Every structure is written in C-alpha cells, then in structure tokens.
Structure 1
C-alpha cells in the first residue's frame, strides 16, 4: 500500500481526501491543513478527524513536519505555503491543484487577476510540482467561461471549485497513465501577493466589498 498526504484547505481538499481514500492500494496517511483554516469553508482538519480518526493530522500547517519519503503521493490543494525541494525531491509523486490557468496565471489570486484582466476564460489545473511557483508540467486542466461584466470573484471562485471537484475525481485514478505536458514559458505570468494593491475593485469577493471604506 502506498501512503498519501493531502495539504491544504476547504471543501476541495476534503474532496481530494475522499478520492484518495477510495483509490486501490492507497491509504490516506497524513493531512496538513493550512494553519489558518477559513471559517467560510469546510474545515479539513475537522472533517478528517471525524471521517478517518486513524489519519495523522499535522496541525502546525507546516510541510516540513511531513517526513521526506514517508508518503509516495503528496497532493497540495489550495495549500498556502511554498513546498521546498526537501519534500519535492523525496516524493515519488507530488502534485498541486492550482485554481487558475497555467502558465498565464501562476501565483497568488488567479481568480481575481483573471477578472481584473477581463478574461472570458478561466480554469483550474493539476500539475506536477517542482521548485518554481506553479511551474511544473501540467497533468490535467479544466477551462470554462466567465463573464467579467457580471461575475464577481465569489461567483468565479465557486465555479472553479465545482470544476475542481470533477477534475480531481477524473485525474487521481489515472495519474500513472498521464504524460505530463511542459508549460509554455513564453506565455508565463506570475502574480505575487505584493501585487494585490493593483487589483482595484477585484481585490475582494465582490466589487461592493472592495469599495467599502
């Protein structure tokens, strides 16, 4: 049996745990919830404690507490820290679920940036991890229409999560048969948290909230 770990937050990470636990010859071994779990989403730590009391929960939220090589599969789902080479190099399969299209929307807050840029298409991507920020080869992706004139960040985020559930369900059972596709660096754009002030009225869940004093 291969051991698996899930790092991240919310209902999407909970769904990833459910899919992994149902995989043949795989056992969910460790969960690392974000240290600050959002009150507006499902609690990954509470769900896992109820559903699989035998699963180890590392409440520190720190990937460094996962022993390198312990888990053959590590899945980052909306995890809030950059995972370093110590874990990446020691893990047979380490992947990330990124709530944006790649390589155009690497980094922080891809939903906000897509709406800020007036995009008509958004997406969610599962990619192999390397030491860059969302730079690893793509394993699977889902693209869908968005409407910047009427969509709020909250609308597109919720749509992204719905597509993400299906993408995780479809991809994880096929991981061993997927040929990774390198990203096109000529199209790459990375957004950093330090750039959030440029988002204007797309900085919050809705434009009305962004305008509040």
Structure 2
C-alpha cells in the first residue's frame, strides 16, 4: 500500500486529499495544513479530521515533522513553505500545485502579478518539486483566459481553483505514466514577498480594497 501526504490549505488541498484517498492502492497517511489557515477558505485540518479520522494531521504546519521516506507521494497544494532536500531526496513522487503559469510566474502571488502585468492568459500548474522555487519539471497545466480590464484578483483566483480541481483529478491517477517536461529557464521570472509593493492596485482581492489600504491577500 502506497502512503501519501498532502501539505497546504483550503478547498483545493481538500480536493487533493479526496483524489488521493480514491486512488487504488494508496492511503492518505498524513496531512500538514498551513500553520495559519485562512478564514476565507475551508479549514483543511477540520475537514480531514472529520472525513478521515485515521489520517494523521500535523498542525505544526512544518514539513520537517513528516519523516523522510514515510510517504511515497507528497503533494504540496498552496503550501506556504519551501520544502528542503531531506524530504525531497527521500520521496519517490514529490509534487506541487502552483496557481500560476511556469516559468514566467514562479514564487508568490502569481495571480496578482498576472493582472498587474495585464496578461490575457493565466494558468495553474502541477510540477515536480526540486531545490529551487517552483522550478521543477512540469507534469500538467491548465491555461485559461483572464481579462485585466474586468477581472479582480478574486475572480482569477476562483477560476484558478476551479481549473485546479480538474487538473488534480486528471493528473494524479496518471502520475506514474507522465513524463515531466523541463521548464524553459531562460523565460523564468520569480516574484518574492519583497516585491509586493510593485503590485500597486493589484495588491489585494479587489482594486478598491487595495486603494483603501485593506489587508493583503494572495499566495
């Protein structure tokens, strides 16, 4: 029996748990919710505790609490920490679901940056985790239209989550048969938290909130 772990937050991570639990020969062994779970999305810790009482929930939010080699599959879904080589090197399949297109939108808040840059396409990507920031080979991606004159961050985020559910459902059952595709490093752009001031009116869920100085949203 293959053991799997899910790290992350919200309804998309919960969907990943459901998909993994339904895979033949796989058990959902461990879930590590982000240490601070958002109040605007499903609480992953509560959902897993109720849905799968036998699944271990590590509420520290720290990937280091997952023993290297315990799980054959580790899936990061909107997880808020970089995973280190101790876990990467000991895991057969260690993958991440990133709410942006790669390699052009690595790092934090890809939805916000895509609208800030007035893109007309955005996407959500499942890729292999390596030692870099969202730099591992691509397993699957979904690309969809966005309209920067009309869309708010919350609109594109919701769309990314909808496409993400389908992408996870389609990809995980085929994981053993998918050949990862290396990213084009010459096109890589990585956004860091220190760059957030450059988002301007796209720093929040809506442009009105950003102008009003409300709290920042994004990943």
Q: TM-score, normalised by structure 1?
A: 1.00
Q: Match for residue 13 of structure 1?
A: 13
Q: Match for residue 29 of structure 1?
A: 29
Question: What is the SS of the residue equivalent to 2:122?
Answer: strand
* Residues 1:194 and 2:194 are matched in the alignment: yes
Q: Match for residue 142 of structure 1?
A: 142
User: 2:30 and 2:194 mapped to 1: Cα distance?
Assistant: 32
Q: Match for residue 178 of structure 1?
A: 178
Question: What is the SS of the residue equivalent to 1:140?
Answer: strand
User: 1:49 and 1:159 mapped to 2: Cα distance?
Assistant: 27
User: 1:9 and 1:131 mapped to 2: Cα distance?
Assistant: 22
How far is the alpha carbon of 1:163 from its aligned partner?
0.1
Q: Match for residue 128 of structure 2?
A: 128
User: 1:185 and 1:132 mapped to 2: Cα distance?
Assistant: 12
Task: Quote the RMSD (CA, aligned, Å).
Answer: 0.4
Structure 1's consecutive aligned runs of 4 or more residues displaced over 3 angstroms after TM superposition are none
Question: What is the SS of the residue equivalent to 2:212?
Answer: coil
Q: After the TM superposition, which residues 43-62 of structure 1 pair with which residues of structure 2 at under 5 Å, given as runs?
A: 43-62=43-62
* Residues 1:66 and 2:62 are matched in the alignment: no
Q: Match for residue 105 of structure 1?
A: 105
How far is the alpha carbon of 1:169 from its aligned partner?
0.2
Question: What is the SS of the residue equivalent to 2:199?
Answer: helix
User: 1:86 and 1:198 mapped to 2: Cα distance?
Assistant: 34
Q: Match for residue 117 of structure 1?
A: 117
User: 2:168 and 2:175 mapped to 1: Cα distance?
Assistant: 10
Instruction: Give the count of matched residue pairs.
Output: 213
Q: Match for residue 88 of structure 1?
A: 88
* Structure 2 runs not aligned, ≥5 long: 214-219
Question: What is the SS of the residue equivalent to 1:211?
Answer: helix
How far is the alpha carbon of 1:158 from its aligned partner?
0.2
User: 1:94 and 1:83 mapped to 2: Cα distance?
Assistant: 10
How far is the alpha carbon of 1:79 from its aligned partner?
0.0
Question: What is the SS of the residue equivalent to 1:170?
Answer: helix
How far is the alpha carbon of 1:98 from its aligned partner?
0.2
How far is the alpha carbon of 1:159 from its aligned partner?
0.2
Q: TM-score, normalised by structure 2?
A: 0.97
Offset from partner CA, 1:109-139 (integer Å, 9 cap, x none) = 0000000000000000000010100000000
User: 1:68 and 1:212 mapped to 2: Cα distance?
Assistant: 45
How far is the alpha carbon of 1:9 from its aligned partner?
0.0
User: 1:78 and 1:92 mapped to 2: Cα distance?
Assistant: 20
Offset from partner CA, 1:121-165 (integer Å, 9 cap, x none) = 000000001010000000000000000000000000000000000
